[in-house]
Structure 1
């Protein structure tokens, strides 16, 4: 009479030589994936701690806060608010940058060495998700940040399931204490043995991981660019064309004009240049005008920036700002008015590419 082994019995059954060899070869075949996945994250951390320490220096031009600020316009699921909060709280921001960089360095090294491989791979998946939510919308020529995060998420998922095989520190730890092979936590965290689940359990876990990776990657791709069930589109937040959002524009008693402006779309690789500002009446005719030279000579005191990192300010071609910058700006009183200022109803800014941005004046 035949019997069906229980899942618990299957977990306790020692794998046959053929099964162990098949799993060993599969894990070894992932060596290039594990090493490069580790190098990617180790490289990110080592650049900041060793090769480009200016990224961790709040006084340097390449301080990481500037990079984080560029993510605000297109960050998903409220991540933009989290970044904004951190940018306004320096000690929290600095601790976050150091801890994240250290975690990248450690996890990358663990993957390359094969030390607690599955735990490191799972952590790398978390990195990929966070980076996707923050920077996935960026990429001037293609979805650069999305592509890297999507690939790293799939690589991390594969390593979490497959482990590290024989060529790893996990295997050295197992050889030193063979009884670790019976430790559930060791087999889940390390990678020198197959996961302690039945074939059916492993299949279900693998399918669940696949579903998460596919839904997350394809879903974000569809959101950012379409081309899945909808036509290709430039994304809710354009990674190529700069966009300025104007608000709270008002004419002050002395004739100066105060307004709030946010650079909330475009490539982080190049700043926006506002070359002209004007007040228009209800018919669209100009009432007052500020040309490139006037904007370039504005005092820095005319700019009250929301953040201490990427800022609006005077530049060689008018007003200049890096991605994510936001500020309250006061234009000086215009020396000559084509019409009385009271006739003005709209503030208009024009960038170097001829794009026009408008908002109504508050009276």
Structure 2
């Protein structure tokens, strides 16, 4: 009896192993390409949505005469903006041509980058730009959020998503892949592989790992570092942040008692939520013992004329309202309170404002006639 035996030579085994390995590698890459599809499309939709709202669905955001004009939004970011972007915002708010051009260009960039990501066109380049958007938006708005730091969460997630797309490419169902099918030579072009496509970056494994870990380090340091700065809870206890996104705060400066008995001072709403204005319901002039020598009640503050307010910016402003003086976050102005009827106000040494929540904000008074009021 003969026995049939099935054996393979070492050459056949190696060929089989290579074939299986190649198949598994292709399957793994295909799986990753499909898995990243939701990341790419949602990252694109987020930015496309921001641009399309302004150009298509809510064009009043680009209308300087509308209350929803984007300048008002930018001004709310100014008190807590990082890396000097507060000075940039202030400069733009004082130069309309630069502000308007910036709003239009940024909105258009969001629209096009979002569309490119959703379509998978030049995906890696678009992802890199989206990371830049995330860093900029984090620097400006990351401190805001009434219940939690909502703007930080959005920017932190978008930065990580952009980094993933930068390293992984467009994934499946992308225009980049259509271009490569029609022109296979693009697959061998380093510039194309760096900017687009679902093929791996043209790097050796060791170099790619170093790049990926470097990107990871940047994302971790930036996201966790800003979170620690805004809220702690990393290496320090939880805190409300250097600039509170919930409690209004008024910074008073340059307070002066003028020769005619009126009071002039500068005020800046440098903390609080943009969802609600501050209401200053009382102002008091205090003597050296912190006793009131003059009082301005809600009715008196509500009756202040427009000439009493010299606002620093043309958008969010201080103004008289139905409940005293009102202002939105980021507003700054020089205010003038009329001279009290009593000459006792000449003995005033400090100014105190009280908001609707009972919080008080004070500044020492100087006299143009007498110099510093030392008490």
The match for 2:160 is: 154
- Residue 232 in structure 1 maps to residue 208 in structure 2: no
On the 8 A contact 1:74/1:237 being kept in 2, the answer is yes
1:332 to 328, 338, 349: 338
Deviations 1:61-119 (A, max 9, x none): 00000000001100011110000000000000000000000000000000000001111
Query: How much does 1:280 deviate?
Result: 0.0
Alignment partner of 1:24 is 2:35: no
Query: What is the CA–CA distance in structure 2 between the aligned matches of 1:175 and 1:267, rounded to whole Å?
Result: 51
Larger mean CA deviation between 19-28 and 78-87 belongs to 19-28
Asked whether the equivalents of residues 168 and 198 of structure 2 are also in contact (C-alpha less than 8 Å), the reply is no
Q: Which runs of 4+ in 1 moved over 3 A?
A: 15-18
| Contact preservation (8 Å) 1:174, 1:192 | no
For residue 353 of structure 1, what is the aligned residue in structure 2?
Answer: 357
Say whether residues 1:214 and 2:220 are aligned partners: yes
Ranges in structure 2 where 5+ consecutive residues have no aligned partner: 1-20, 368-375
The whole-number CA distance in structure 2 between the counterparts of 1:90 and 1:19 is 55
1:321 corresponds to which of 321, 327, 334: 327
The reply to whether residue 184 of structure 1 matches residue 190 of structure 2 is yes
**CA RMSD, 1 decimal:** 1.1
8 Å Cα contact 2:283-2:295 kept in structure 1: yes
Contact 2:287-2:347 at 8 Å conserved across structures: yes
| Of 42, 47, 55, the match for 2:48 | 42
SS at match of 1:319: strand
What SS does the corresponding residue of 1:278 show, helix, strand or coil?
A: strand
- Tell whether 2:139 aligns with 1:133: yes
Q: 2:269 aligned to 263, 269, 278, which one?
A: 263
Q: Distance in 2 between matches of 1:341 and 1:275?
A: 19
Equivalent residues in 2 for 1:65-214 (5 A)? 65-214=71-220
Which residue matches 1:308?
A: 314
**Partner Cα distance (2:60, 2:340) in 1:** 41
Secondary structure of 1:71's match? helix
Q: Give me the whole-angstrom Cα distance separating, in 2, the residues matched to 1:355 and 1:292.
A: 15
Query: Aligned partners of 1:277 and 1:111: how far apart in 2?
Result: 54
Q: What displacement does 1:16 show?
A: 4.3
Distance 1:186 1:20 in 2: 21
SS of the residue corresponding to residue 249 of structure 1 reads strand
Aligned-partner Cα distance in 2 for 1:167–1:175: 12
Within 5 Å, which residues of 2 pair with 1:244-259? 244-259=250-265
TM-score (norm 1): 0.94
Deviation at 1:21, TM superposition (A): 3.2
Deviation string 1:200-253 (CA, Å, 9 cap, x unpaired) is 111111100000000000000000000000000000000010000001111112
CA offset at residue 22 of structure 1?
1.9
Q: Which runs of 5 or more residues in structure 1 are unaligned?
A: 1-14
Structure 2 Cα separation of the partners of residues 194 and 25 of structure 1: 14
Distance 2:83 2:171 in 1: 37
In the alignment, what sits opposite 2:58? 52
Q: Which stretch shifts more, 252-261 or 177-186? A: 252-261
Deviation at 1:342, TM superposition (A): 2.4
